[in-house]
Amino acid sequence: MTAHANVRESAAFVLERTLDSRAPVSTFLDGALERCDPRDHGLLRELVLGTLRWLRFIDHVLVAASRRPLDRIQRALLAPLRIGAYQLFFLDRVPAHAAVNEAVEQAGSRTHAGGASFVNGVLRRIARSPRRDDWPVDGADRTTRLGIHYSHPDLLVERWLKVYGEERTIALLAANNRPKPLHLLAFRDRGGRAPLAELLIDDDVGVEPSVLAPHCVTVRWGNPLTSDAYRQGSFYVQDEASQLAALVPPPAPGEKVLDVAAAPGGKTFALLAEQPEVRSLAADRSLRRLVTMRRNADRLRVRPLLLAADGVALPFGAVFDRVVVDLPCSGTGTLRKHPELKWRISAGEIERLAEEGLAMVRGAAECVRPGGLLVIITCSIEPEENEAVAAAFLESRTGFRRRDIAGDLRRPAAEHVAGPGVWRLLPAGDHDGFTVQVLERT
């Protein structure tokens, strides 16, 4: 078996395990990367994440090319077919004959000669028409057409059309299918982005200033995780949107902050990167995640206080200037790096997560001092998990109101205020999507 065939077998293994479980794709992908030649890491990630992103469109094509329903295709052949089809449509650097031949070889090792012949026939049919427009969706309504063409479930397409309209929904669907670069958080009191970029260049890592977050750089080539800058604690890996969300509104020197559901540390680190004089206490109910946060903090040379505590029942009175609570959510703002979530979301799950989030908001609110802020953050763009949760809280709890944040923010963050006390950044460009709501205790 060739090295490339080994990579494709690893990709098939990760794809199958991810789709058969509720576990994040990283659960299986990280282990596969450890067993893989470092020179093949990029290809393995591309095959797994790309196939997951385009899964619905690929399955639509496989049904058309094979002239049989998906449930009548032998299960052992689905992963080689899906990965082969992904290469034919989206990887120009892989010759079509190589993608077909390696999928056929893989199928032959998984089943009988008839199965390998079937894979050969289906992929050769696709290879003759390797453009998405060659495989139209006939006789379907607008939601299904967009869902198949952009490889999203009807549930999300229908929801976004109602909330965001067709033009923004199509832009959102397209953005979710683009690979996302790595973003790094630099620290203002260590000089910010420029010294970090110089350190990384010495290790052949190319970065450029990010557009939105003030202390963020975007990695364009190289691996910063093997650099001296990483070992010295000069940066934290964090998406640009996540960095910016933590600064809505920007913290003041000496501000006393409680970070609820804090681990592995992104919100706390982003606040300290902007304002090192913030007095931060980070709480999380998972000891394992707190251990990870402590390791991250030690490497970064910052010293937030850490506490094991459930966000629903926190052991504090109303003493914090700002309480930041990261709600459990569907993660619909992070589908670029977690494409498997697309195929697991349900209306019932969104409703359940919203109920969990409301309980956390109620618990966190008890720790906000009069005049202080309750900052609610999710990596979801669904109103039910955001505005509806805050509205339910405000209906059941007096003494809080939405804060007008437009005057608190500078451009470009100010351009994403979505309403009174609501800030939302949709996935686009190089970044994920986040929603922030700011309530003030009166």
Mind listing the pLDDT tens digit for each residue in 230-258? 999 999 999 999 999 999 999 999 999 99
Question: Could you tell me the pTM of the whole model?
Answer: 0.92
| 363-377 residue pLDDT tens | 999 999 999 999 999
Residue 48 inside a domain? The answer is yes
Residues 129 and 245 grouped into a single domain:
no
pLDDT, tens digit, 9 for 90 and up, residues 98-141? 899 999 999 888 887 788 999 999 999 999 999 999 998 887 79
Tell me: pLDDT of 2 over 70.
no
368-378 and 422-425 beta bridge pairing: unpaired
Q: Integer distance in angstroms from the first to the last C-alpha of the chain?
A: 68
The answer to whether 403 and 439 are in contact (CB under 8 A) is: yes
Beta bridge partners of 425: 434
Q: In angstroms, rounded to a whole number, what is the distance separating the alpha carbons of residues 350 and 337?
A: 19
- pLDDT at res. 5: 54
Confidence tier at 92 by pLDDT (50, 70, 90)? confident
Instruction: Return d(Cα 339, Cα 331) in angstroms, integer.
Output: 10
Binning pLDDT at 50, 70 and 90, where does residue 1 land? very low
Query: What is the residue range of 391's domain?
Result: 240-441
| Cα 408 to Cα 379: distance, rounded to the nearest angstrom | 21
379 catalytic residue (yes or no): yes
Given 109, 136, 163, which residue is the final one in a domain? 136
Q: How confident is the model at residue 278 (pLDDT cuts 50, 70, 90)?
A: very high
Q: Which of 83, 106, 136 is the last residue of a domain?
A: 136
In a domain, 370, yes or no: yes
Whether 437 and 291 map to the same domain: the answer is: yes
Report DSSP state, residue 428: B
357 pLDDT higher than 60: yes
Q: Report the alpha-carbon distance of residue 243 to residue 188 in Å, rounded.
A: 13
Question: Do both 318 and 432 map to the same domain?
Answer: yes
Hey, what are 160's tokens? 């976004």
- CATH code, 345: 3.40.50.150
pLDDT per residue over 133-158, tens digit each?
999 888 779 999 999 999 999 999 99
> What is the pLDDT at residue 3?
47
Q: Does one domain contain both 265 and 412?
A: yes
| CATH classification of the domain holding 87 | 1.10.940.10
Quick one: DSSP state of residue 250? P
Give the pLDDT of residue 140.
79
Cα distance between residue 154 and residue 175, in whole Å? 17
Q: Check residue 72 and give its pLDDT.
A: 94
Query: What percent of the chain stands above pLDDT 90?
Result: 85
Closest C-alpha among 37, 50, 53 to residue 5: 37
- When pLDDT is cut at 50, 70 and 90, the band that residue 38 belongs to is confident
3-class DSSP state of 344 = coil
Q: Span 212-216, mean pLDDT?
A: 94
Residue 419 is assigned to a structural domain of this protein: yes
Res 82 pLDDT > 80: yes
Q: What angle do CA 127, 128, 132 make, to 5 degrees?
A: 75
For residue 161, tell me if it sits in a domain.
no
Q: Collapse the DSSP code of 94 into the 3-class scheme (helix H, G, I; strand E, B; otherwise coil) and give the result.
A: coil
- The token pair that represents 215 in the structure block: 């202390």
Domain count, the chain: 2
- Residues 271 and 405 placed together within one structural domain of the fold: yes
Indicate if 427 and 289 belong to the same structural domain: yes
pLDDT of amino acid 29: 93
State yes or no: pLDDT of 68 exceeds 80.
yes
Mean pLDDT score of the chain? 93
Q: Report the run of H or E that residue 305 belongs to, with start and end.
A: strand 305-308
Res 36: pLDDT: 86
347 inside domain: yes
Per the domain annotation, does 184 fall within a domain? no
Which residues are 306's β-sheet partners? 282
Domain boundary among 120, 136, 152: 136
Could you tell me if 157 and 141 are in contact, meaning their C-beta atoms sit under 8 angstroms apart?
no
Closest CA to 368 of 262, 258, 271: 258
The pLDDT of 333-357, averaged and rounded, is 96
Note whether residue 63 is domain-resident. Answer: yes
Catalytic residue among 36, 216, 329, 379: 379
Q: Are 100 and 121 in contact (CB under 8 A)?
A: no
Could you read off the pLDDT of 372-398 as tens digits, one per residue? 999 999 999 999 999 999 999 999 999
Does any domain span residue 172? no
Distances (CA, A) of 46 to 16, 332, 339, 357, 412: 15, 20, 12, 33, 31
Q: List, in order, residues 6 or more apart from 23 with CB less than 8 Å away.
A: 17
